[in-house]
Amino acid sequence: MMAAARMSFASCVRTHLLLPSTPSSPILARTPRVGFGGSSSPAEAVVAPAAVAAEEEKREVSAGELAGLLDIRVGRIVKAWMHPEADTLYVEEVDVGEEQPRTICSGLVKYLSLDQLQDSSVIVLANLKPRNMRGIKSNGMLMCASDASHETVELLTPPEGSVPGERVWFGTDDEKTLQSEPATANQVQKKKIWEAVQPHLKTTDNCIVVLGEHSMRTSAGKVFCKSLQGAGVS
């Protein structure tokens, strides 16, 4: 499923997840064959693949590998306004490199003003299933850093020169070409991929976003937040 080079993330905290695995040959088991005189001799019997399917599918996957299944993109907020039916929500139209801007609802009213959102460059988690939020369908999530008390929240910001629609990655400049195809929104939800990755995201003392020790990057450089150090990311 994943490019071999992504195994550089093996040092990341590891987590268990059920993912489809490559079909393998049937496993041969040794069973006794009773002969004359009550003696037995070994014989090979094929165990049906279905009998071991669950074990074949259960394997250990690193947080880095899982992060490679997320479609995290550079975005630009084209327009933002208050949700007409929810006083804690903003509604944004976000350019993520598609034919039309995406509509995204964000619970950021307590933390950011509309002026801070308008025309901002942002980071968007794009392969989430759409959610109906008080009558408006939200197609993605603006990614933010927050302190432990969740009293201060800041948008993740791509470096200057980043292009809306570019998919970000974790690691070195050279690893951009090693990105796997993102999972579908259904897979992200069913396998709880975001939930497995999110606890391992944080900001450094320099406010750079990292997964373990691997920086979140665009072609223009590293993704950051304004001022929060050692913050969680969601």
Q: Which residues contact 166 (CB under 8 A, 6 or more apart)?
A: 73, 74, 97, 218, 219
CA distance linking residue 133 with residue 115, whole number of Å:
22
Contact 184, 147 (CB under 8 A): no
Phi-psi region of 93 (alpha: psi -120 to 50; beta: other; left: phi over 0): beta
- Each residue's pLDDT, cut to its tens digit, for the chain (234 residues) gives 444 444 444 444 444 444 444 444 343 344 444 343 444 444 444 555 554 455 545 556 789 999 999 999 999 999 999 999 999 999 999 999 999 999 999 999 999 999 999 999 999 999 999 999 999 999 999 999 999 999 999 999 999 999 999 999 999 988 888 889 999 999 999 999 999 999 999 999 999 999 999 999 999 999 999 999 999 999
d(CA 226, CA 39): 77
Compute the Cα dihedral for 86, 89, 95, 97 and give only its sign: negative
Q: 67-233, what's its fold?
A: OB fold (Dihydrolipoamide Acetyltransferase, E2P) (2.40.50)
Per-residue tokens: 147: 């302190």
Distance CA 233, CA 141 (A): 12
**227 contact partners, CB below 8 Å, separation of at least 6:** 154, 207
For the chain, the straight-line distance linking the first and the last C-alpha, in angstroms and rounded, comes to 25
User: In the chain, where are the structural domains located?
Assistant: 67-233
- CA 62, distance to chain mean position in Å, is 12
**Residue located via tokens 């020169």:** 161
Q: With contact defined as beta carbons under 8 Å apart, do 167 and 73 qualify?
A: yes
Alpha carbon 185 to chain centroid distance?
11
Predicted pLDDT of residue 6: 44
Report the pLDDT value the prediction gives residue 61, as an integer from 0 to 100.
Answer: 77
pLDDT at 60: 64
d(CA 63, CA 15): 7
